[in-house]
Amino acid sequence: MGVAPVGMASRRALHFVFKVGNRFQTTHFFRDVLGMKILRHEEFEEGCKAACNGPYDGKWSKTMVGFGPEDDHFVAELTYNYGIGHYKLGNDFMGITLASNQAVSNARRLEWPLSEVTEGVFETEAPGGYKFYLQNRSPPQSDPILKVTLAVSDLQKSLNYWSNLLGMKIYEKDEEKQRALLGYADNQCKLELQGIKGTVDHAAAFGRIAFSCPQKEVMFDLEDLMKRENQKILTPLVSLDTPGKATVQVVILADPDGHEICFVGDEAFRELSEMDPEGSKLLDDAMAADKSDEWFAKQNKPKASG
């Protein structure tokens, strides 16, 4: 494997992308159960050039939710395609772990299903079936979100990719349990790789994990490195526009199991991701106006492949 680019300390974990079929239920879970804030909400009339909303051409929205600003918190990106009410889950996403006794308390109060998997750790599901693990303790000052767990079919091969090529530090490694914990910094959300038997299936709900790095690396280094190492590039360098906000440079990669990885230029992304005080109202207004009628369903047919 090749040598990782320099400047890894300047990389940071940003968010995980979930495709959601029901914005009302999903918003209730993230806002009322987990206790996250709506950081910004954006509506788009047509599909994303980097397939942020999946293989769909029609109208969609993006809602960023988290425990604090995107500058220093790992957040969730909730992608909603109008007219698509359900996504088949694969075995690729194994869960997000967060520390929040408030979230556990909220879930109990709202009678949201919880099951204790180990002492003080509760498993629950977001609408759509996405698993979350809630540690019943005070959250760390940096960020309550501790790790994202993804399934891999060959742990060593994945470690070579994420550590040697993408420059992540290996914090923990357990050959017996076939798991490893990686990250770019001590105070950031970590990536946990969990080995499974068989192949990783992304089905229709396949997510995407996003990181930022200096724009220079996005524009020049990442693609060159992946080409040299014969690794998959899903979307070569592209500029993404958000109405009224900054334009960001993005490269989308795929790891050996096909997990989608977005790298975005940090400088423009910090401007784009500034918290919008109107975000919660914009989302509520959009949900109130959404009829999810047959017209949207017809407009949102998957793009033809090839």
Q: What percent of the chain clears pLDDT 70, i.e. is strictly above it?
A: 92
CATH code at position 112: 3.10.180.10
pLDDT tens digits, one per residue of 235-265: 999 998 887 888 899 999 999 999 999 999 9
Quick check: is 297 in a domain?
Answer: no
β-sheet bridge partners, residue 64: 40, 77
Q: Dump strand ranges (E) for the chain.
A: 12-20, 37-44, 60-66, 75-81, 93-99, 115-118, 121-125, 131-135, 145-152, 169-174, 179-183, 190-195, 208-213, 233-240, 248-254, 260-265
**Cα–Cα distance between 272 and 264 in angstroms, integer?**
11
pLDDT tens digits, one per residue of 2-49: 444 444 668 999 999 999 999 999 999 999 999 999 999 999 999 998
CB 244 within 8 A of CB 52: no
pLDDT tens digits, one per residue of 286-295: 999 986 543 4
Report CA 103 to chain centroid distance, whole Å: 20
CB 55 within 8 A of CB 302: yes
Quick check: is 5 in a domain?
Answer: no
3-state secondary structure of 92: coil
Order the strands of the 131-135 sheet from edge to edge: 115-118, 121-125, 131-135, 93-99, 145-152, 190-195, 179-183, 169-174
Quick check: is 114 in a domain?
Answer: yes
HSE-up (13 A, CA, CB side) for residue 70: 26
Q: How many domains does the chain have?
A: 1
pLDDT tens digits, one per residue of 72-114: 999 999 999 999 999 999 999 999 999 999 999 999 999 999 9
pLDDT of 296 above 90:
no
Q: Locate 5 and state its tokens.
A: 């680019």
Residue 151's nearest CA partner among 88, 99, 206 is 206
Quick check: is 145 in a domain?
Answer: yes
Q: How far is CA 292 from CA 21, 84, 137, 300, in A?
A: 10, 8, 39, 11
State the burial class of residue 141 (Cβ atoms within 10 Å of its Cβ: 0-12, 13-18, 19+): exposed
Quick check: is 255 in a domain?
Answer: yes
Report pLDDT for 305.
44
Quick check: is 6 in a domain?
Answer: no
pLDDT tens digits, one per residue of 259-284: 999 999 999 999 999 999 999 999 99
Quick check: is 176 in a domain?
Answer: yes
Print the domain residue range for 250: 12-287
Q: Locate 215 and state its tokens.
A: 């724009």
Quick check: is 21 in a domain?
Answer: yes
State the burial class of residue 175 (Cβ atoms within 10 Å of its Cβ: 0-12, 13-18, 19+): exposed
3-state secondary structure of 235: strand
Report pLDDT for 292.
55
* Number of C-beta neighbours around residue 51 at 10 A: 15
